[in-house]
Amino acid sequence: DAKTTQPPSMDCAEGRAANLPCNHSTISGNEYVYWYRQIHSQGPQYIIHGLKNNETNEMASLIITEDRKSSTLILPHATLRDTAVYYCIVREGDSSYKLIFGSGTRLLVRP
Amino acid sequence: EAQVTQNPRYLITVTGKKLTVTCSQNMNHEYMSWYRQDPGLGLRQIYYSMNVEVTDKGDVPEGYKVSRKEKRNFPLILESPSPNQTSLYFCASSRPTKSYSYNEQFFGPGTRLTVL
C-alpha cells in the first residue's frame, strides 16, 4: 500500500509559487520524505528530501509539519518547464530500502 | 559525466522470447533498482540491490530476474516475457548513507518494452 497521499492534479500560474501537499500519516521516526518529479516520460529527477527540519535547495523548499504527518513542496517561482508529475515518497521501514511511489500530483503551470 | 545508462531504449518482442535490459552506472553506487511504469499506476519497484550479490524483491517482482555480479551493472532479465510486461522500465542508482537514509537516486532514460 502506498504510504503517501497526494492530490491527483494541481495548476498554478507561471511565476507564482506552486505548493504541492503530501500526507504521510504513518511515517515512522527515522523515515525520510523525498520528492521527485517526472517530466513527460523521462526518468524521474530528484528534487529534495528531509527528515524533520525544513529544507531548501536551488530547486525547491520542503516544509514538514511538526508531527511529520504531512509535508509541502514549494516551487517558489514556477516556470512552464516545471510542468510535471511530482512524487512524494517515504522510505519503508527502518531496515529496508524499498521505495513506494505514490500516484503523484500532475502539476500544470499555466502561461 | 555521471549517469545511468540503459539499453535498449526501445524494444518490441514476442511472447516467450527471453530478453535482457542492461543497466550501468558510472558513479560507484552501491544501491541499484529497477522500476516499471504503467499508465495510471505511477512507478512500481521490481527489484533492488544493496551491493554486489545482494538483491531483494520490490513490489512487483513476478516474471523478472536480476543479477548483480559487478557493482556498476544491474541487468533485468525477462525469461519468458508476456504482454502484461509491456511497460516503461527505469533503472536507478544511489549511494546509501550510514543512517539508513540515502541520497538522491539517479534514474536512467528508460526502456520502452512492447511484448506482442
Per-residue pLDDT tens for A22-51? Answer: 999 988 887 888 999 999 889 999 999 888
What local confidence, expressed as pLDDT, does residue B2 receive? 84
Within a 10 A sphere around the Cβ of A8, how many other Cβ atoms?
A: 9
Q: At B98, is the pLDDT very low, low, confident or very high (cuts 50, 70, 90)?
A: low
Asked if B71 contacts B57 with a C-beta cutoff of 8 angstroms, the reply is: no
Cell of B31: 544501491
Dihedral sign (CA B1, B36, A98, A70): positive
> What pLDDT score does B10 carry?
97
A chain contacts of residue B107, beta-carbon cutoff 8 Å = 43-45
Q: Which positions in chain B touch A84 (Cβ < 8 Å)?
A: none
The H or E element spanning position A74 is: strand A70-75
Regarding beta strands A84-91 and A18-23, do their DSSP bridges make them parallel or antiparallel, or are they unpaired? unpaired
Task: Give residue-wise pLDDT tens across range A56-101.
Answer: 999 999 999 999 999 999 999 999 999 999 999 887 655 555 667 7
Query: Cα–Cα distance between B71 and B26 in angstroms, integer?
Result: 9
Contact B89, B110 (CB under 8 A): yes
Spatial separation of the C-alpha atoms in residues B112 and A41, rounded to whole Å: 10
Q: Where would I find the beta strands (DSSP E) of B1-116? A: 4-7, 10-13, 19-25, 31-38, 42-51, 54-57, 65-66, 76-78, 87-94, 106-107, 111-115
Q: Return the pLDDT at B37.
A: 94
Q: Write down the pLDDT at residue A51.
A: 87
The whole-number pLDDT of residue A31 equals 81
A41 touches chain B (CB under 8 A): yes
In this prediction, residue B97 carries a pLDDT of: 62
As a whole number of angstroms, the distance between CA B39 and CA B18 comes to 24
Nearest to B96 among A30, A97, A101 (CB): A97
Give residue B102's pLDDT.
Answer: 58
B40-83 confidence digits (pLDDT tens) = 787 899 999 989 999 999 889 999 999 999 999 999 999 999 99
How far B41 CA lies from chain A's nearest CA (Å)? Answer: 6
Distance CA A89, CA A104 (A): 9
| Residue A46 at interface with chain B, using a CB cutoff of 8 Å | yes
